[in-house]
Amino acid sequence: MSVDINITVIDREGTEHKFSVPTDMNLNLMEVCKGYELPVEGICGGMAMCASCQVYILTDEHFGERNDDEEAMLDEAYFVERNSRLGCQIPITPGLEGVKVRLAPEAP
């Protein structure tokens, strides 16, 4: 049976958005943000090529493992912090229940 999880996204103005998101839709965090019309561009369509979906993970237990493509992109992106991840590389799974992220600033 599918479960919905609760996630919190803080936008670039500091406003908190709470969403209940299904885990059986094969979604990733970038797509969720876009779906709720947050200002996340996702230019490359989820191939870890543009970093326009960069987020900071604010709940340590949800940091997960960056994959190689993601690591490579974050090596070159702007405003990268220790807790940076690419939203497009974070699948929405039950393990993300309660995750809180903040959108990284827009790249120049």
Partner 1 sequence: MIKTDIIIIGAGPVGLFAIFEAGLMKLRCHLIDAIPQPGGQLSEIYPKKPIYDIPGYPSVLAGELVDKLMEQAAPFKPGFTLGERADSIEKQEDGSFVVTTNKGTPHHAPVVMIAGGLGSFEPRKPLIANIGDFEDKGVRYIVKDPDQFEGIDMVISGGGDSALDWAIYFAEKGSFVHLVHRSDRFRAHKDSVSRAHELAAEGKMKLHTFAEVKELKGADSLNAVVIHNKEEQTTVATDLWFPLFGLSPKLGPIGDWGLDIEKNAIVVDTFDYQTNRPGIFAIGDVNTYPGKLKLILCGFHEATLAVQTAYKIINPDKKFTLKYTTVQGVQGFEEQQQKQTVK
- Could you list the residues that contact partner 1 (CB under 8 A)? 41, 43-45, 47, 49-51, 68, 71-72, 75-78, 80, 107-108
The C-alpha atoms of residue 28 and residue 61 are separated, in whole angstroms, by: 18
Residue 107 C-beta: closest distance to partner 1, Å: 7
Q: What angle do CA 106, 66, 94 make, to 5 degrees?
A: 95
Residue 40 C-beta: closest distance to partner 1, Å: 11
Residue 95 C-beta: closest distance to partner 1, Å: 25
Closer of 7 and 40 to partner 1 (Cβ): 40
Contacts of 74 (CB under 8 A, 6+ apart): 51, 54, 66, 80, 84, 85, 86
